[in-house]
A = this chain, B = another copy of it.
């Protein structure tokens, strides 16, 4: 069900790729997606050349870091639909999704930056999650004037942490938004 990015076959190469991904995850959380490449390679204990070999474009790295998260969210939909009534399933899934965004500082801005450096990212994001959310929305019987992709973006934005307010903030705002989805147009 999940991604199957081609990985290097040599053991040391694979090790480096993993180290880079781990480092990138950490650095993205700390300093955002615009962090200097050096910061990542230093943390990974690897030369910059190695980064560029495995991820020629900056977007490739971001994509790789992000995709696993997106996949996990996508995969969560099935179980939720089986275990809960549609309205509740929708609710839970959206919060699950929001949680991903909240912890990946910078993902949202990468998604919306329009920066060609991140080309491909929004496509993967939308392609993977829109169909799933679309079905959840229909099943839950909410208003039909709002399309799934719009909701995806809205939640992406609402779940961004605001400095000075706790993590609760995003959660509650998303809740209000879901209430709005249940209202009649």
A residues near B (Cβ < 8 Å) are 109, 112-114, 122, 145-146, 149-150, 153-154, 157-158, 160, 162-165, 169, 172-173, 175-183
Contacts of A163 in B (CB 8 A): 112-114, 122
Contacts of A183 in B (CB 8 A): 176, 179-180, 182-183
Are A150 and B165 in contact, with the CB atoms below 8 A? yes
Number of copies: 4
Are B169 and A153 in contact, with the CB atoms below 8 A? yes
Are A122 and B157 in contact, with the CB atoms below 8 A? no
Closest Cβ–Cβ distance, residue A149 to chain B (whole Å): 8
Taken together as a complex, chains A and B put the C-alpha atoms of A176 and B147 apart, in Å, by 12
19 CB contacts below 8 A, A to B, read: A109-B109, A112-B160, A112-B162, A112-B163, A122-B164, A146-B172, A149-B165, A150-B165, A150-B169, A153-B162, A153-B165, A153-B173, A154-B173, A158-B158, A176-B177, A176-B180, A177-B177, A177-B180, A180-B181
Contacts of A146 in B (CB 8 A): 172, 176
